[in-house]
Amino acid sequence: MQKRIAIKNHLQEIQLTTQRTVAMLIIMLVLIAFLIMRLGFLQLIKHDMYTTLSKKNWLDLIPIEPTRGLIYDRNGLLLAENIPVFSLDIIPEKNKNISQVLTEISKIIPLSETDITQFKKELAQHRRFDEIPLKLRLTEIEVARFYENQYRFPNALIKARLIRHYPLGAAFSHVLGYVGRINLDELENIDATNYSASNYIGKIGIEKYYEDELHGTVGYEQAENDANGQPVRVLKQIKPVPGKNLYLTLDSRLQLAAEQALAGHSGAVVIIQPSTGQILAMVSEPAFDPNLFVAGISGQDFQQLQLAADKPLYNRTLRGLYPLASTIKPYIALQGLDSGNTTPDFTLFDPGWYQLPNKEHIYHDWKPHGHGTVNLNLAIVNSCDTYFFALGHKMGIRAIDDILDRFGFGELTGIDMGEEVPGIIASPTWKRRVKNTAWYEGDTLNSSIGQGFMQATPLQFAQGIATMANRGKRFAPHLLLIEQEPGKPPEPQMATELEPVNLHNEAYWKTIITALQNVMTQGTGHVHYGDGMPYSIAGKTGTGQVFSIRHRDEEGKSEEQEKLPEKLRDQSLFVAFAPVDKPQIAIAVIAEHTNLAPNIARKIVDFYFLGPPAPVTAPTPNKEATANVIH
């Protein structure tokens, strides 16, 4: 039987085709709508972003390094300048084999181990397209050699740079500090944008403390590049803003005179203008040449400075700690008067020793047979230990701490350098915390003559005697006199007045200052200054004991002292101000392991008031800069 063949259902097929067509049309419409929305989003909402990205395909922003501000002394003498040099720079991103490039370049231009080490350090911390200096201060011959072979190094270039230079070298090294290449730690703490064209930053001293003022603000060039990334033309430029010029309170000639007077001895000199707190000179010896650090010091040179026995990198003016020794006695005497524990007329017989009640231990005066009957004036003039043993025991350690604290000892002075230490004003609480032992009466006696645990920095010595010269009026010591933005008027810095030292009776100032003047005309300072001085001066000598020796002469000398190794010999201290009635300078001198501090101070004070015995070499002041300086 023949099978029946089904007839197609055309109506059903048409319906199916129609449904599929409609479905496809809906999908297409949805996709077209999505595409239109996406195009609108990209063209309208994201227009600015993609325009910028497009421009980056052919434009580049090149940072321009600002010129670092200059540093002058108070008379316009240039202390830190920028000198032009040629450097050989490399763009690491465009050199696939850096090691090979360095090897080939070294065949043309000698590269030291320091050059390569510094380059690799900067290579690790800079952006890919930065130009990293490989060698600074190229000679004319080296520049010529490179240009002859530049076709071999298309991604290396000679660039003119300004580099820091310190014309007076070591004399100002501890005050000015120096600049050096930015390291990884510093890179994390600075504004990377503002330093995008800079390789150097202040490391210590004024250069570090006033880094923000000296650095300036980075500028930019918008450059058009070709297909190889090489700039074709500059389309737009934002000029960098130079750093501010700084004028310091320092007097260069006085600084050089102090350095020459201290030369050959480890120690420090600080000179303050009492009426303002301005630092006129600040010398730490031995010193170092800061120019060694600018381009990158070699490992051998740095190790030599670090391991030197006399520590030339150590800033003694701010970080050196020395016993107050007999320079403490005017402050103890002042507290004794102000607290009613002594009077100018009170006398005491000094047999050459002092003994605490019900104690066996004997505390010896520096003079074996004593000073006989002394009052407060003679006790200061002859530096009588026995008098101050008795006064210190009567007042107690808290009264001693109180007067030292009021004069600024044991705390930071706040000088604009930021590297100082506070010193030590010993107390029962301090000894328990640091030594974990009790305070004894003998500790109070040692403190009353500036021995034992008491320590201060040369800056604190100078600030203390400046306060004495001011009859209690105190100013924060500072180094910045004027700052000036290029093209703008100078901005003088005002003195910062601190809490004064107030007394119950203002006449006590005259009592102590008269005694300090008598020190120089009759007492322990007379041997160094003699008679007929052309200026009045009040001062106090001191001997900080490193190794205990019982008896000394009036100059603090001892035959036993001369037999000791140099490092065990005493520290020599001297503080003074002059003239007495209207003080212009207050000076503190510390000479380590020698007794020459008063002699060193005499040379400096003579220079200030009488002028140099021979010309002190120094560059001629900048006349244009001097016109803007307040004297």
Q: Tens digit of pLDDT for each residue in 613-622?
A: 755 555 555 5
What is the rounded average pLDDT for all residues in the chain?
Answer: 87
Structure confidence at residue 3 (pLDDT): 58
State how far the Cα of 588 lies from the Cα of 325, in Å rounded to an integer.
Answer: 13
pLDDT: which is higher, 549 or 280: 280
Helix axes 507-521, 458-469, angle to 10 degrees: 120
Please state, in angstroms and rounded to a whole number, the distance separating the CA atoms of residues 507 and 513. Answer: 10
One-letter amino acid at 614 equals A
List domains and CATH numbers for the chain: 60-248 (3.90.1310.10), 252-610 (3.40.710.10)
Residue 3 in tokens: 């099978």
pLDDT band at 394 (very low <50, low <70, confident <90, very high): very high
User: Does position 38 have pLDDT exceeding 70, yes or no?
Assistant: yes
pLDDT band at 345 (very low <50, low <70, confident <90, very high): very high
The pLDDT score that the predictor gives to residue 146 is 87
Q: Is 0.95 topped by the overall pTM?
A: no
Predicted local confidence at residue 629, as pLDDT: 40
How many C-alpha atoms does 565 have within 13 Å on its Cβ side?
A: 2
Predicted confidence at residue 227, as pLDDT, reads 54
Judge whether 591 and 265 are in contact, CB under 8 Å: yes
Q: In the 8-state DSSP scheme, what is residue 170?
A: G
89, β-bridge pairs: 133, 157
Q: Which amino acid is at 621?
A: P
Range scoring the smallest mean pLDDT among 213-217, 359-363, 375-379: 359-363
Active site residues: 326
SS (HEC) of 62-103: EEECCCCCCEECCCCCEEEEEEEEEEEEECHHHCCCHHHHHH
Number of CB atoms found within 10 A of residue 547's CB: 12
- Output the pLDDT for position 630: 39
